[in-house]
Amino acid sequence: MAVKLDTLRFPPSSRRSFLQLSAAVSAAAVFHPMTEAMLAGATERSFPQDAVMINLNENPLGPCEASRQAVANIAAQGGRYLTSVTAELVSAVAAAEGLKPEYIRAFAGSSDPLYFSVLAFTSPAKSYVMADPGYEAGSRAAEFMGSRVVKVPLTKTFSHDVKAMAAVPDAGLIYLCNPNNPTGTMTAHSDIEYALANKPAGSVLMVDEAYLHFSDGESALDLVKADKDVIVLRTFSKIYGMAGLRCGMAIARPDLLAKITNYGGTAYIPITAGVAAVAGLQEPQLVPQRKKINADTRSSVFEWLDRNGYAYTPSQANFFMIETHRPAKAVIDALAKQNVFIGRIWPSVPTHVRVTVGTPAEMDIFRDAFAQVMSMPVPASA
């Protein structure tokens, strides 16, 4: 027998839950997860072929040779779904990190699980808490959902102010990017433990470790293994050089993963991304070698900045921020005229610019262009 929807009756609490779920599903249908490129508007413009693109925290080295070969080898099977590739990736990550496979869910990048977590754990009654300046994608989703966004300024050492973040009484999801985007700075594991121990009951802590492999920092995966209220995000976009291939994951207790996947996510990822990621994981020297390459290049730029009196954030990632003492947009636009493209603007630090660590040759070009721009008179609006 057909039942008219307007004849259904729900208890008040069930009705509220149903309406919240309906709103979230509706939002999921029209709001696409934001990536670094989308936030920068890079998908809406083209760049000269010889441009120095140090604007999106990409890895200029790209996928390693083994990953490239794996993509080439499987391309001919692109007409098949081959869901087993996703299972193989999950198994490989589980073995590498000492996790149970059911604690891992693969996605096409880490933007999807971030967005789905906002849908799952925030609402008009449960706030999204983040650092300021911080990575904005989650806040965009929260605002779209009608959730309150609480931006907590970084400490004087550019780490997350975990005491202030954990003290937000209506927090639903507390987001920590570690190292933090856009500053590249670390928050100590002990601070993450503090946030977890002192957050409001029922809230969830998310630790985005997109850039962790570039740093000397400690992962929060031990807290996942201890079955705490924490979700760790990982991606192959950064140190593995696979930003365009789109491969990432959420790592958490199975019940938390189930709440995330209620709002989206397929059961498998693109086969090219899956085999490339597995191949990268099987290269034991890949991460340490690339970490050293990045650190050496970054240190060289920092030494130049020190010699020339420029202040910058003590980054452990593949990007950093420079204090320019003038409007960031003026610096960004002036560098673009020299074919050098750097990161976007964060309103809370309007005179800072974010610079991705490129190749040594690219950073040489950046230094020359930046010196020329900074030698120009400060705009009258500054």
What SS3 string covers the chain? CCCCHHHCCCCHHHHHHHHHHHHHHHHHHHCCCCCHHHHCCHHHCCCCCCCEECCCCCCCCCCCHHHHHHHHHHHHHCCCCCCHHHHHHHHHHHHHHCCCHHHEEEECCCHHHHHHHHHHHCECCEEEEEEECCCCHHHHHHHHHCCCEEEEECCCCCCCCHHHHHCCCCEEEEEEECCCCCCCCCCCHHHHHHHHHHCCCCCEEEEECCCHHHCCCCCCHHHHHCCCCEEEEEECCCCCCCCCCCCEEEECCHHHHHHHHCCCCCCCCCHHHHHHHHHHHCCCCHHHHHHHHHHHHHHHHHHHHHHCCCCECCCCCCEEEEECCCCHHHHHHHHHCCCEECCCCCCCCCCEEEEECCCHHHHHHHHHHHHHHHCCCCCCCC
Residues 350-361 have a mean pLDDT of: 98
For the domain made up of 65-281, the CATH class stated in words is alpha beta
Sorted by where each begins, the domain ranges of the chain are 36-57+286-374, 65-281
Confidence of residue 263 (pLDDT cuts 50, 70, 90): confident
The CATH homologous superfamily of the domain defined by 36-57+286-374: Aspartate Aminotransferase, domain 1 (3.90.1150.10)
Q: pLDDT at residue 370 above 90? A: yes
Average pLDDT over residues 352-378: 96
| pLDDT, tens only, 331-349 | 999 999 999 999 999 999 9
pTM equals 0.90
Per-residue pLDDT averaged across 172-201, rounded? 98
